[in-house]
Amino acid sequence: MDGLRVLFSAAEIAARVDTLAGEIAHTLPADFVMVGLLKGAWVFVADLARALERAGAGPEIEFMQLSSYGLAKESSGAVQLLGDIPPELAGRPVLLVDDIVDTGRSIAFAAAQLRQRGISNLWICALLDKPQRREVEVAIDFVGFTIGDVFVVGYGTDYAEKYRHLPYIGAVE
């Protein structure tokens, strides 16, 4: 696609997701719930779930939907909860999964929501981490790839709702 430079190919992502799944299966208790953040994490959650099965784990899958970007490349800073998790998560160990941690506002907001709902233990997993962009401190337990201050699309992530279907992660030039 024009104006996109491939940062991580489909094969590189698949290999990294398998390794992450091994680490997660080894660290978390057997009965954990994976909570994905929509929409960006949808592809990552689907691949990670199946990699977790190969790694011997059988998580339940839930989603929360947050919104902050609208159609812009820069976060508006205001995070909203559009779709919530079911109340049965109280007392459960949770793996919160997002595509990208940028300023950290979304993941911090989601983590606070989950803690308010009385989950027992929380781990955070992000496919991509942009530490240079951080405005809110968050401890990420499992990171796929650390990247610089670039805007990326593909593998679930978008620019103005485009490119989510790409099998690779590309940097917008």
Query: According to CB under 6 A, which residues from 57 to 86 bind ligand IMP?
Result: 68-69, 75
* Alpha helix ranges (H) inside 75-159: 105-116
Exposed e or buried b for every residue in 6-44, given b needs 16+ CB within 10 A?
Answer: ebbeeeebeebbbebbbebbeebeeebbbbbbbbbbbbb
Give the nearest distance from C-beta 41 to ligand IMP in angstroms: 7
Give alpha helix (H) positions in the chain. Answer: 10-27, 42-54, 105-116
Site residues, Mg ion (CB under 5 A): 40
Q: Which stretch binds ligand IMP (CB under 6 A): 43-51, 86-94, 116-124, 149-157?
A: 149-157
Exactly one of 25, 51, 103, 113 binds ligand IMP (CB under 6 A); that residue is: 103
- Residue 152 interacting entry, from ligand IMP, Mg ion, none, C-beta within 5 to 8 Å by type: ligand IMP
Per the listing, tokens 């919160």 go with: 96
| 34: contact with ligand IMP by CB under 6 A | no
Helix axes 42-54, 10-27, angle to 10 degrees: 60
Contact flag: residue 170 with ligand IMP (CB under 6 A): no
How far is the C-alpha of 62 from the C-alpha of 93, rounded, in Å? 13
102 is catalytic: yes
Active site residues: 102
- Residue ranges in contact with ligand IMP by CB under 6 A: 37, 40, 68-69, 75, 98-107, 151-153, 157-158
